[in-house]
Amino acid sequence: MPISTTPYPILNPANPLTTRAGLCALAVMAKAPRSGKVKTRLAPPLTLDHSAAINICFLRDTTENIAAVAASGNAAGIISYTPIGDEALFDTLLPANFALIPQRGDGFGERLLATAEDLFACGYGSVCLIDSDSPTVPAAAFEQAVAELAKPGDRIVLGPAHDGGYYLIGLKRAHAELFANITWSTSAVFAETIAAAKAADLEAIILPLWYDVDDSATLDILTAELLHHTPPPFTTLPGYPAPHTRAFLGKLNQQGSDRR
Protein backbone atom coordinates (compact mmCIF):
# COMPACT_ATOMS: atom_id res chain seq x y z
CA MET A 1 0.00 0.00 0.00
CA PRO A 2 1.20 3.55 -0.72
CA ILE A 3 2.40 5.68 2.17
CA SER A 4 -0.24 8.34 2.84
CA THR A 5 0.79 11.90 2.04
CA THR A 6 -2.78 13.16 2.11
CA PRO A 7 -5.26 14.05 4.85
CA TYR A 8 -7.51 11.25 3.62
CA PRO A 9 -7.04 7.68 4.88
CA ILE A 10 -5.89 5.12 2.31
CA LEU A 11 -7.89 1.92 2.73
CA ASN A 12 -6.02 -1.37 2.99
CA PRO A 13 -7.94 -4.55 2.04
CA ALA A 14 -5.67 -6.48 4.38
CA ASN A 15 -7.14 -4.56 7.32
CA PRO A 16 -10.93 -5.05 7.24
CA LEU A 17 -13.19 -3.39 9.79
CA THR A 18 -16.38 -5.07 10.94
CA THR A 19 -17.90 -1.63 11.54
CA ARG A 20 -18.13 -1.20 7.76
CA ALA A 21 -20.45 -4.19 7.29
CA GLY A 22 -23.59 -2.05 7.32
CA LEU A 23 -22.22 0.53 4.90
CA CYS A 24 -22.44 0.86 1.12
CA ALA A 25 -19.15 2.08 -0.33
CA LEU A 26 -19.92 4.82 -2.87
CA ALA A 27 -16.66 4.71 -4.81
CA VAL A 28 -15.85 7.21 -7.56
CA MET A 29 -13.46 5.84 -10.18
CA ALA A 30 -11.04 8.70 -10.76
CA LYS A 31 -7.72 9.62 -12.32
CA ALA A 32 -5.57 12.11 -10.45
CA PRO A 33 -6.38 15.49 -12.01
CA ARG A 34 -3.27 16.31 -14.05
CA SER A 35 -3.48 18.52 -17.14
CA GLY A 36 -3.19 16.38 -20.26
CA LYS A 37 -4.20 13.21 -18.38
CA VAL A 38 -7.91 13.79 -17.66
CA LYS A 39 -10.92 14.76 -19.80
CA THR A 40 -8.71 15.07 -22.89
CA ARG A 41 -11.67 14.41 -25.21
CA LEU A 42 -12.99 17.83 -24.17
CA ALA A 43 -9.97 19.49 -25.77
CA PRO A 44 -11.14 21.03 -28.04
CA PRO A 45 -13.43 22.88 -27.37
CA LEU A 46 -11.61 23.33 -24.04
CA THR A 47 -7.88 23.65 -23.55
CA LEU A 48 -6.09 20.83 -21.73
CA ASP A 49 -5.74 23.05 -18.67
CA HIS A 50 -9.47 23.85 -18.75
CA SER A 51 -10.22 20.14 -19.19
CA ALA A 52 -8.24 19.35 -16.03
CA ALA A 53 -9.95 22.23 -14.21
CA ILE A 54 -13.44 21.03 -15.12
CA ASN A 55 -12.44 17.51 -14.05
CA ILE A 56 -11.65 18.95 -10.61
CA CYS A 57 -15.07 20.61 -10.57
CA PHE A 58 -16.70 17.28 -11.47
CA LEU A 59 -14.84 15.59 -8.59
CA ARG A 60 -15.84 18.29 -6.11
CA ASP A 61 -19.50 18.17 -7.10
CA THR A 62 -19.77 14.39 -7.28
CA THR A 63 -18.07 13.85 -3.93
CA GLU A 64 -20.10 16.57 -2.19
CA ASN A 65 -23.27 14.99 -3.55
CA ILE A 66 -22.13 11.58 -2.29
CA ALA A 67 -21.08 13.00 1.09
CA ALA A 68 -24.60 14.34 1.62
CA VAL A 69 -26.05 10.91 0.80
CA ALA A 70 -23.52 9.22 3.11
CA ALA A 71 -24.49 11.54 5.96
CA SER A 72 -27.52 9.26 6.50
CA GLY A 73 -25.10 6.81 8.09
CA ASN A 74 -25.74 4.04 5.55
CA ALA A 75 -22.92 4.78 3.10
CA ALA A 76 -19.31 5.95 2.87
CA GLY A 77 -17.63 8.12 0.23
CA ILE A 78 -14.47 6.79 -1.41
CA ILE A 79 -12.18 7.68 -4.33
CA SER A 80 -10.75 4.70 -6.22
CA TYR A 81 -7.74 6.41 -7.78
CA THR A 82 -4.95 6.01 -10.26
CA PRO A 83 -2.01 6.36 -10.56
CA ILE A 84 -0.45 5.36 -7.27
CA GLY A 85 1.84 8.14 -6.14
CA ASP A 86 -0.54 10.97 -7.08
CA GLU A 87 -2.61 10.83 -3.89
CA ALA A 88 -1.66 14.40 -2.97
CA LEU A 89 -3.44 15.75 -6.06
CA PHE A 90 -6.74 15.02 -4.30
CA ASP A 91 -5.81 17.23 -1.32
CA THR A 92 -8.50 19.84 -0.54
CA LEU A 93 -10.74 18.47 -3.33
CA LEU A 94 -12.75 15.97 -1.29
CA PRO A 95 -15.07 16.16 1.70
CA ALA A 96 -13.29 15.54 4.99
CA ASN A 97 -14.89 12.13 5.56
CA PHE A 98 -13.74 10.59 2.26
CA ALA A 99 -11.14 7.82 1.97
CA LEU A 100 -8.90 6.71 -0.90
CA ILE A 101 -8.22 3.26 -2.31
CA PRO A 102 -5.68 2.65 -5.11
CA GLN A 103 -6.79 1.00 -8.31
CA ARG A 104 -5.13 -2.14 -9.58
CA GLY A 105 -5.40 -4.10 -12.80
CA ASP A 106 -4.77 -3.26 -16.45
CA GLY A 107 -8.00 -2.87 -18.43
CA PHE A 108 -11.02 -0.89 -17.25
CA GLY A 109 -13.05 -4.00 -16.45
CA GLU A 110 -10.18 -5.39 -14.39
CA ARG A 111 -9.95 -2.14 -12.43
CA LEU A 112 -13.68 -2.09 -11.73
CA LEU A 113 -13.67 -5.68 -10.51
CA ALA A 114 -10.50 -5.20 -8.46
CA THR A 115 -11.95 -2.11 -6.77
CA ALA A 116 -15.09 -4.04 -5.86
CA GLU A 117 -13.03 -6.95 -4.52
CA ASP A 118 -10.81 -4.65 -2.47
CA LEU A 119 -13.72 -2.72 -0.96
CA PHE A 120 -15.50 -5.93 0.01
CA ALA A 121 -12.21 -7.11 1.53
CA CYS A 122 -12.14 -3.85 3.53
CA GLY A 123 -15.41 -4.98 5.09
CA TYR A 124 -18.09 -2.96 3.25
CA GLY A 125 -21.47 -4.64 2.96
CA SER A 126 -22.12 -3.40 -0.59
CA VAL A 127 -20.29 -1.39 -3.23
CA CYS A 128 -21.26 1.13 -5.88
CA LEU A 129 -18.70 1.97 -8.56
CA ILE A 130 -19.44 5.45 -9.91
CA ASP A 131 -18.00 7.36 -12.84
CA SER A 132 -16.35 10.75 -12.42
CA ASP A 133 -17.92 12.21 -15.58
CA SER A 134 -21.50 12.81 -14.42
CA PRO A 135 -21.56 15.73 -11.97
CA THR A 136 -25.33 16.27 -12.07
CA VAL A 137 -26.54 12.74 -11.21
CA PRO A 138 -29.51 13.27 -8.85
CA ALA A 139 -28.86 12.44 -5.21
CA ALA A 140 -32.03 10.34 -5.39
CA ALA A 141 -30.25 7.92 -7.74
CA PHE A 142 -27.46 7.32 -5.23
CA GLU A 143 -30.00 7.01 -2.41
CA GLN A 144 -31.99 4.44 -4.38
CA ALA A 145 -28.85 2.41 -5.07
CA VAL A 146 -27.95 2.32 -1.36
CA ALA A 147 -31.50 1.33 -0.39
CA GLU A 148 -31.77 -1.44 -2.99
CA LEU A 149 -28.44 -2.95 -1.98
CA ALA A 150 -29.49 -2.96 1.69
CA LYS A 151 -32.37 -5.34 0.94
CA PRO A 152 -31.97 -9.10 1.50
CA GLY A 153 -30.85 -11.23 -1.42
CA ASP A 154 -28.23 -10.78 -4.10
CA ARG A 155 -28.79 -8.28 -6.90
CA ILE A 156 -27.07 -5.58 -8.89
CA VAL A 157 -28.01 -1.95 -9.44
CA LEU A 158 -27.24 -0.19 -12.73
CA GLY A 159 -27.47 3.48 -13.62
CA PRO A 160 -27.77 3.63 -17.42
CA ALA A 161 -26.04 6.42 -19.31
CA HIS A 162 -27.52 8.00 -22.42
CA ASP A 163 -24.53 6.88 -24.51
CA GLY A 164 -25.19 3.19 -23.79
CA GLY A 165 -22.81 2.81 -20.87
CA TYR A 166 -23.53 3.20 -17.18
CA TYR A 167 -22.69 5.81 -14.56
CA LEU A 168 -23.04 3.41 -11.61
CA ILE A 169 -22.93 -0.29 -10.94
CA GLY A 170 -23.90 -1.48 -7.47
CA LEU A 171 -23.00 -4.90 -6.10
CA LYS A 172 -23.49 -7.08 -3.04
CA ARG A 173 -20.75 -9.47 -4.18
CA ALA A 174 -17.84 -9.07 -6.60
CA HIS A 175 -19.32 -10.92 -9.59
CA ALA A 176 -16.44 -11.29 -12.05
CA GLU A 177 -18.78 -12.23 -14.91
CA LEU A 178 -20.24 -8.71 -14.93
CA PHE A 179 -16.88 -7.29 -16.02
CA ALA A 180 -15.72 -10.00 -18.44
CA ASN A 181 -16.25 -9.85 -22.20
CA ILE A 182 -17.68 -6.31 -22.06
CA THR A 183 -16.79 -4.05 -24.98
CA TRP A 184 -15.82 -1.06 -22.85
CA SER A 185 -16.19 2.49 -24.12
CA THR A 186 -18.93 1.52 -26.55
CA SER A 187 -22.70 1.94 -26.68
CA ALA A 188 -23.09 -1.78 -25.87
CA VAL A 189 -21.76 -1.66 -22.27
CA PHE A 190 -25.10 -1.36 -20.48
CA ALA A 191 -26.83 -3.99 -22.63
CA GLU A 192 -23.94 -6.44 -22.31
CA THR A 193 -23.86 -5.98 -18.54
CA ILE A 194 -27.60 -6.61 -18.30
CA ALA A 195 -27.13 -9.76 -20.41
CA ALA A 196 -24.30 -10.91 -18.12
CA ALA A 197 -26.50 -10.35 -15.06
CA LYS A 198 -29.33 -12.32 -16.64
CA ALA A 199 -26.96 -15.19 -17.49
CA ALA A 200 -25.82 -15.20 -13.85
CA ASP A 201 -29.45 -15.18 -12.67
CA LEU A 202 -28.96 -11.83 -10.93
CA GLU A 203 -31.81 -9.40 -10.49
CA ALA A 204 -30.92 -6.00 -11.99
CA ILE A 205 -32.44 -2.83 -10.54
CA ILE A 206 -32.33 0.05 -13.02
CA LEU A 207 -31.74 3.61 -11.80
CA PRO A 208 -32.86 6.79 -13.63
CA LEU A 209 -31.24 7.40 -17.00
CA TRP A 210 -28.48 10.03 -16.92
CA TYR A 211 -25.45 11.05 -18.98
CA ASP A 212 -21.65 11.21 -19.01
CA VAL A 213 -19.81 14.37 -20.04
CA ASP A 214 -16.94 13.25 -22.24
CA ASP A 215 -17.11 15.21 -25.50
CA SER A 216 -18.26 18.51 -26.99
CA ALA A 217 -21.86 17.37 -27.48
CA THR A 218 -22.34 16.25 -23.88
CA LEU A 219 -20.56 19.38 -22.63
CA ASP A 220 -23.26 21.34 -24.46
CA ILE A 221 -25.94 19.28 -22.65
CA LEU A 222 -24.26 20.04 -19.33
CA THR A 223 -24.01 23.75 -20.13
CA ALA A 224 -27.70 23.88 -21.05
CA GLU A 225 -28.64 22.08 -17.83
CA LEU A 226 -26.53 24.19 -15.46
CA LEU A 227 -26.46 27.63 -17.09
CA HIS A 228 -29.76 27.75 -18.95
CA HIS A 229 -31.95 25.57 -16.69
CA THR A 230 -32.74 23.27 -19.61
CA PRO A 231 -32.73 19.66 -18.40
CA PRO A 232 -31.75 16.93 -20.86
CA PRO A 233 -34.86 15.70 -22.69
CA PHE A 234 -34.18 12.08 -21.72
CA THR A 235 -34.17 12.69 -17.94
CA THR A 236 -37.12 12.46 -15.57
CA LEU A 237 -35.62 13.89 -12.36
CA PRO A 238 -34.04 17.26 -11.60
CA GLY A 239 -30.27 16.98 -11.58
CA TYR A 240 -27.84 17.79 -8.79
CA PRO A 241 -27.02 21.53 -9.04
CA ALA A 242 -23.24 20.93 -9.28
CA PRO A 243 -22.23 24.39 -8.02
CA HIS A 244 -18.50 24.07 -8.76
CA THR A 245 -19.11 22.99 -12.34
CA ARG A 246 -21.79 25.65 -12.81
CA ALA A 247 -19.44 28.40 -11.61
CA PHE A 248 -16.64 27.18 -13.89
CA LEU A 249 -18.89 27.01 -16.95
CA GLY A 250 -20.26 30.46 -16.14
CA LYS A 251 -16.74 31.84 -16.00
CA LEU A 252 -15.87 30.25 -19.36
CA ASN A 253 -19.09 31.59 -20.87
CA GLN A 254 -18.31 35.09 -19.61
CA GLN A 255 -14.75 34.93 -20.97
CA GLY A 256 -16.14 33.91 -24.37
CA SER A 257 -18.58 36.82 -24.31
CA ASP A 258 -15.81 39.25 -23.39
CA ARG A 259 -13.68 38.10 -26.31
CA ARG A 260 -16.58 38.65 -28.68
pLDDT band at 260 (very low <50, low <70, confident <90, very high): very low
What pLDDT shows up at residue 88?
Answer: 93
Q: What is the pLDDT of residue 4?
A: 54
Q: Are 228 and 152 in contact (CB under 8 A)?
A: no
pLDDT per residue as tens digits for the range 44-92: 999 999 999 999 999 999 999 999 999 999 999 999 999 999 999 999 9
pLDDT over 90, % of the chain: 94
List, as own/partner pairs, every contact residues 237-241 make where C-beta atoms lie below 8 angstroms and the sequence separation is at least 24, other chains included. 237/138, 237/140, 237/141, 237/208, 238/138, 239/136, 239/137, 239/138, 239/210, 240/61, 240/65, 240/135, 240/136, 240/137, 240/138, 240/139, 241/136
* 6 pLDDT tier (thresholds 50, 70, 90): confident
Give dist(CA 98, CA 50) in Å, integer: 25
pLDDT, position 113:
98
Q: Residues 216-220: what's their mean pLDDT? A: 96
Amino acid at 240: Y
CATH fold of 18-259: Spore Coat Polysaccharide Biosynthesis Protein SpsA; Chain A (3.90.550)
pLDDT of residue 256: 62
At residue 5, the pLDDT reads 64
Q: What is the pTM of this model?
A: 0.95
Chain segment 98-118, per-residue pLDDT in tens: 999 999 999 999 999 999 999
Q: Is the pLDDT of residue 28 over 70?
A: yes
